[in-house]
Amino acid sequence: MKKIKRIGILTGGGDCPGLNAVIRAVVHTATHKYGIEIFGIRDGYAGLINKQVQPMDRKEVSGILPRGGTILGTSNRDNPFKYPVAVENGKKVYGDVSDRVQKTVEYNELDALITVGGDGTQAIAHQLFTRCGIPVVGVPKTIDNDLDGTDVTFGFDTALSIATLSIDKLHSTAESHHRVMVIEVMGRYAGWIALEAGLAGGGDVILIPEIPFNMNRIVQKIHDRENDGKRFSLVVVAEGAKPEGGELVVARKVQDPNDPLRLGGVSQFVGNRIEDLTGIETRFTILGHVQRGGSPTAFDRILATRFGYHAVEAVMDQKFGYLVGLRGQDIVTTPIEEAIAVPRRVQPDSQIIKTAMALGTCFGI
């Protein structure tokens, strides 16, 4: 086995609280435990393509543990296997520039890469490993918590906390005004944030992508609450929730003007329908990117730190092509390919859904 002396690290995909904690743990472990060097790669795979690689020491990671974002920058569109290489007739032409990545790795004498990112980032890492022979170790990262290969990802607890505190704030307004408040949280394909924030915030209705909803059931729930003397209701919606037979509608994207849901995403659709069908004043809030920002919770800092440490351990053990992850109380490794094969979604018959239903939560079914 080749001796490991220099490791590169990059962060890819959407911003996520805890990225800096991973970077700091990698640098500290490498420096303190192994006396080897860490090289920071700027803006995800873009830095490997464009040779933006710099040595990092402990000074650079000083004070970053409690900070959101990533000091390395990130990018969610730079795929070395499908990279814009020319413009023809006003259209981008894409090509494979993975040789540039290889050259950057060789030039900087990187003995391994730690790739911190979601399924997109890890799919590319896997290709770099299998097709180009670049030794990679993955660290899973997603706000949405929908990556298999780990029980939970860092960033999720922070997003969940922000969403829950926002629901708490809406509760007082809903109650004072006798209103229905609809809050849209992140989760395009998986409803973890909506489900758990809804449970933690006491949402009366929770709508997630995994369980297509029926407006009549939602209206029924609101009426039941009224009959019970509760003049307000709180609806938590994942951005990827969809009506039965309907399609996913995501806010904040260029929207088809003919799409009936286009105005403000699924939350506005649901809010408008509730107001129409019940006559109760309804307001909606789209929480948006505030869920991705700010200082990570203690839970996320610890998980991110553990991931960072174990990523270096996996590199030193030359366990390439693997992803670190949490199983129960322990950090384990799984082949990247296996970890990204199927997204981790909410199971409609899981314990936690049953719990929410037993308490009377309506899932629109």
> Residue count at the site for a copy of itself (CB under 8 A)?
94
* Beta bridge partners of residue 183, listed in sequence order: 236, 285
- Annotated catalytic residue within 144, 148, 204, 300: 144
Tokens of 30: 């490498």
What distance in Å separates the CA atoms of residue 205 and residue 297, rounded to the nearest whole number?
A: 26
CB of 21 to a copy of itself, least distance (A): 9
- Residue 41 makes CB contacts below 8 A (sequence gap 6+) with 8, 9, 10, 47, 48, 52, 53, 72, 113
259 is catalytic: no
CB-wise, 37 or 157, nearer to a copy of itself? 157
Contacting a copy of itself (CB under 8 A), which of 284, 320, 322, 363? 284
Both tokens assigned to 93: 């032409």
Assess 170 for contact with a copy of itself (CB under 8 A): yes
Q: How many CB atoms lie within 10 A of CB 318?
A: 13
Of positions 5, 51, 67, 319, contacts a copy of itself by CB under 8 A: 67
Please, which residues have CB within 8 angstroms of residue 254's CB and are 6 or more apart in sequence?
none
Q: Which residues ranging from 338 to 357 are in contact with a copy of itself (CB under 8 A)?
A: 351-352, 354-355
CA distance 147 to 334: 12
Q: Does 286 bind a copy of itself (CB under 8 A)?
A: yes
In angstroms, give the least distance from the CB of 18 to a copy of itself. 11
89-148 binders of a copy of itself (CB under 8 A): none
Ramachandran category for residue 129: left, alpha or beta (phi over 0 → left; psi -120 to 50 → alpha): alpha
Q: Which residues in 288-317 contact a copy of itself (CB under 8 A)?
A: 288-290, 292-295, 297-299, 301-302, 305-306, 309-310, 312
The region of 88-96, 100-108, 114-122, 324-332 touching a copy of itself under the rule CB under 8 A is: 324-332
Is residue 50 close enough to count as binding a copy of itself by CB under 8 A? no
171 is a site residue for a copy of itself (CB under 8 A): yes
**Alpha-carbon torsion angle 183, 187, 193, 199, nearest 10:** 60
Taking residues 2 to 41 in sequence order and writing x for each that binds a copy of itself by CB under 8 A, - otherwise, the string is ---------x--xx-x-x-----x--xx--xx--------
Question: Which DSSP string corresponds to 122-156?
Answer: HHHHHHHHHHH---EEEEE--TT---TTSS--TTH
Q: Which of 9, 128, 194, 199 binds a copy of itself (CB under 8 A)?
A: 199
Local structure of 92: helix, strand or coil: strand
Cβ of residue 5: shortest distance to a copy of itself, in angstroms? 18
Q: Report yes or no: 296 and 18 within 8 Å, Cβ to Cβ.
A: yes
**Smaller CB distance to a copy of itself: residue 248 or 332?**
332
Pattern 149-168, binding to a copy of itself, x per CB under 8 A? --x-----x--xxxxxxx-x
Asked if 240 contacts 191 with a C-beta cutoff of 8 angstroms, the reply is yes
Rank residues 64 and 132 by Cβ distance to a copy of itself and give the closer one: 64
Q: Is 84 exposed, middle or buried (0-12, 13-18, 19+ CB in 10 A)?
A: middle
The distance of closest approach from Cβ of residue 56 to a copy of itself in the complex, given in angstroms and rounded to an integer, is 15
Catalytic residues, by residue number, are 144
